[in-house]
Chains A and B, each alone.
Chain A
Amino acid sequence: MKSLPLLFFLILSSVIASAQASTHNDFYTLLTECNVSIPDVVFDTGTNGTAYVISTNKTWAEVNINGTLTETYYEYMLNITNLSSSINYTVKLENASITGISRLTNFTAYFHDGSPSKQVEISNGSVTQSSGPWYSVAASTTIYLSIAIKISISGTSIVDLRLHVAKSGTTSPEIIQQIRLNVS
């Protein structure tokens, strides 16, 4: 009878130790500070589109394009400007999504500031090139988004593109901005 309290405490201690062992965790702390950066590469209105909508910080753009039954080349659909006076950037386009693709006989997006670079291509209602090669946007310069377009019937198509931006000579951080083209 006298050993009962001792036995009780031995069992209790064992249970507590067991519980502590099964919930033992090690924590390694990572603090992440997020700082807002003013964009260096921004969109601005071109001369060939209509109804331009450029977001407050110029990192998102929407523009209307007139589709034609014969092939038309719009050379200055959207301006893409590097505001930095010291940093060179590279950019490329990626197809995000398309609605009304079947009426697009030809939709080809190029970058150019002299020599064109084919980035995204839709041919006879199918995506034949979904992204393009990196293209240089030197400090304090502007390149242009050009569109070659031909439609088969009247209607509306929406082409969403992503502009990937990275410093020249690096691949990260990579910034992704959005462009929406409404093809009538």
Chain B
Amino acid sequence: MNKLEKNTLTRVRASLIAGIILMLSVTLVLATIYYYYTAQVPVSVETPKVQWVTGSDITATIGTNNTWCQISVSKLQPNATTVYTSALKFTVVSASAASGMKLQIASITDTNTIIWGIRFYIYKSGASSTTLTLVDGGSVSIGTTDGNTAVDAVGYRQSGANANYGSTSTPADSTGFTGAADTTYIIVIECYGKDGILSTQTATIQLRLIWS
């Protein structure tokens, strides 16, 4: 190997080492930046914007922070419609600004197909009454509302039931409404039991009230 070749090889080696060092440096910088932003994701407890409140015709089990709730519709009857006019309430807390809200039927567990159709309505509370026209056309008086029709509704049905109950699948979302701050809303339930159902049978529906 002559002197020229040695010099050329030395230059190549130097360039290669410099390149490796540069790549390592960039990798180190990238790793540092990635770690920095991951560590900075803020996680904090937020005051709930909505709180569940028990209604007047169903005893509700409400969680510690009023953000979780369970109710029992105990009067699902075969071949008949049952209407709970004040199943549950929720309040948009005063610190919250008005926001888009919707009710979602997230899932249904109904092994024996006892629910022929079910529909959940949301009314703004107040000192007046209003009339709810049921899916099959009957009418029921809803008390302690603002006197207007439901602000929102969502439902579920078996295939073959009146389509006005709502969707045959889940999740099913309501159209949505604007939840006003410091306002209480009432949830009304209309349900129709399939003919021949038995008192040993139950179904569970998981709903979500979504604040967006």
Contacts and interface: CB of A to CB of B under 8 A. Distances in A.
B139 A175 contact: no
Contacts of A27: 208-211
B50 A26 contact: yes
Interface in B183-212: 187, 189, 191, 193, 195-212
Contact of B80 (A6, A13, A31, A176): A176
B172 to A, nearest CB: 14
Given A26-B210, A28-B90, A172 B79 contact: no
Given A36-B198, A56-B196, A175-B82, A31 B205 contact: yes
B205 A32 contact: yes
A162 to B, nearest CB: 5
A30 B210 contact: no
Task: Please indicate which of the listed interface residues A55, A57, A96 has the most CB atoms of chain B within 10 Å of its own CB.
Answer: A57
Interface in B129-147: 134, 136-141, 143
Interface residues of B, number: 69
A32 B134 contact: no
Nearest to A163: B80
Contact of B73 (A6, A29, A32, A94): A32
Contacts of A174: 82-83, 85, 140
Main SS class of interface, B: strand
Contacts of B193: 36
Contacts of B21: none
Contacts of A60: 79-80, 195
B84 interface: yes
Contact size class for A? 35 or more
Interface in A121-172: 162, 164, 170-172
Contacts of B153: none
Contacts of B198: 36
7 contacts: A5-B26, A25-B211, A30-B206, A32-B204, A34-B114, A56-B196, A57-B197
Interface of B: 26, 29-30, 33-34, 37, 46, 48-50, 52, 56-57, 67-86, 88, 90, 110, 114-115, 118, 134, 136-141, 143, 187, 189, 191, 193, 195-212
Interface of A: 5-6, 9, 13, 24-39, 55-57, 59-60, 94, 96-97, 162, 164, 170-178
3 smallest beta-carbon distances between A and B, as pairs: A57-B78, A172-B85, A26-B211
